[in-house]
Amino acid sequence: MKKIIPVFLLFVFLLSACGGLPLPTGSTAPTSPSDSEMATRVAGILTAMPTVTGDAMTQPTQALPTIAPTATQAPATEAPTAAPTATATQAAPQVTPTENLTPVATFTPQGGATQAPTALPSGDDPRVKLGSPAWTDTMDGSNNWPTGDNEFTKIDFSGGSLLFTPLKTTAGWRLTWPKIGDTYIEMSVRSGTCQSNDSYGIIFRVPELNDADQGYLLGVSCEGKYSLRLWNGREGANGKMATLIPWTASDKIVAGADQLNRVGAMMINDRLLVYINGKLITEVKDATFKEGYFGIFAAQGKAEKEFTIRVEEMSYWSNPQP
């Protein structure tokens, strides 16, 4: 069927070409052939045309040349370099730590006499046993004390000390704060120009700060004695001074003028313990006053014979144990 269609198309084309040619001028158009004549002509044309075989219809395709594969040169592989061999480094020598040595300050004498070493406080000294105080006044200023003169005393500050001068044979005092209960109070004091029975010490457990007419007085005299008394200015017409410990000599007191002593009072409930220079001297019991303010007192041994003590420090420790 595929072979007949192109032949038929060619035949139609030829007929169209013949019929389309113009006739010469003056000639007459030929008459149309009959059906039998047309069939004879078509048969002749078809017979005269070459027969197209199936092989002719198939357009041969030239075989593509076979390209022999060219051997691709494998990329040159770089010869592996030998991994660097770690060279063993010599281990740092182990240094054994040595004990830290605290340098000891050496004292070089500057010529002349050398000062005798100060005795260290013993293990039963409250100042050592109780550690750091709850309150300390190094007397560098008057922040904690009322200054000026009154009928019984006058005080001033100079050279890092409180200067306290009694004006009568009756004890006079100055108080500080706060209000405390069970404590250990200690005063470092230099006796100044004292003589004989001039006395000085600590007043403590004073119930009222502004009306200080009650409290305990722990005193030391210039001649090397101590005492503990209870003052109640509200008892009787002139008040009452009760003696808990009478004036008693003690070798723990450094007697004489311009001597340094540490006077201490420990209060635990009704127990009242007396310390001189870090040593327990004695103990009594009294429950009249359980708490209060504290301060410094002094009294002349002879009328109109003034002397001045120098208080270098005052401290207290809360809730002590003897």
Residue type, position 179, single letter = K
Q: Is the pLDDT of residue 316 over 50?
A: yes
User: Over 50: is that where the pLDDT of 11 sits?
Assistant: no
Q: pLDDT tier at 304 (50, 70, 90 boundaries)?
A: confident
Buried b (16+ CB within 10 A) or exposed e, 152-191: bbbbebeeebbbbbbbebebbbbbbeeebebbbbbbbbbb
Kindly state the average pLDDT of the residues 183-198.
96
State mean pLDDT over 210-227: 96
Q: How confident is the model at residue 322 (pLDDT cuts 50, 70, 90)?
A: confident
In the three-class reduction of DSSP (H, G, I as helix; E, B as strand; rest coil), residue 174 is classed as strand
Q: How far apart are CA 141 and CA 309, in angstroms?
A: 16
Residue 55 pLDDT level (bands cut at 50, 70, 90): very low
Cα→Cα distances 25→28, 29, 30, 31, Å: 8, 10, 13, 17
- Quick one: pLDDT at residue 20? 45
CATH 2.60.120.560 fits 126-318, yes or no: yes
As a whole number, the mean pLDDT across the chain is: 75
Model pTM score: 0.63
Mean pLDDT of the region 69-95: 41
Closest CA to 45 of 17, 66, 23: 17
> In terms of Cα–Cα distance, which of 217, 192, 198 is closest to 289?
217
Please, which pLDDT band fits residue 37 given cuts at 50, 70 and 90?
low
What whole-number percentage of the chain has pLDDT above 90?
58
Q: Report which DSSP code applies to 38.
A: H
Residue 174 β-bridge partners: 296
The pLDDT-based confidence of 148 (bands split at 50, 70, 90) is confident
Is it the case that residue 209 has pLDDT exceeding 70? yes
pLDDT for res 34: 54
309-318 and 183-190 as β-strands: parallel, antiparallel, unpaired? antiparallel
Name the helix (H) or strand (E) containing 64: none
**Per-residue pLDDT averaged across 204-214, rounded?**
95
Task: Give residue-wise pLDDT tens across range 230-265.
Answer: 999 999 999 999 999 999 999 999 999 999 999 999
For every residue of 104-154, DSSP letters joined together read PP-----SSPPPPPPPPPPTT-HHHHT-S-SEEE--SSSTTS--EE-SSEE
The 10s digit of each residue's pLDDT in 256-298 is 999 999 999 999 999 999 999 999 999 999 999 999 999 999 9
Mean pLDDT of 154-173: 96
Q: What is the pLDDT of residues 59-72, one digit of tens each?
A: 443 444 444 444 44
Q: How far apart are CA 118 and CA 109, in angstroms?
A: 16
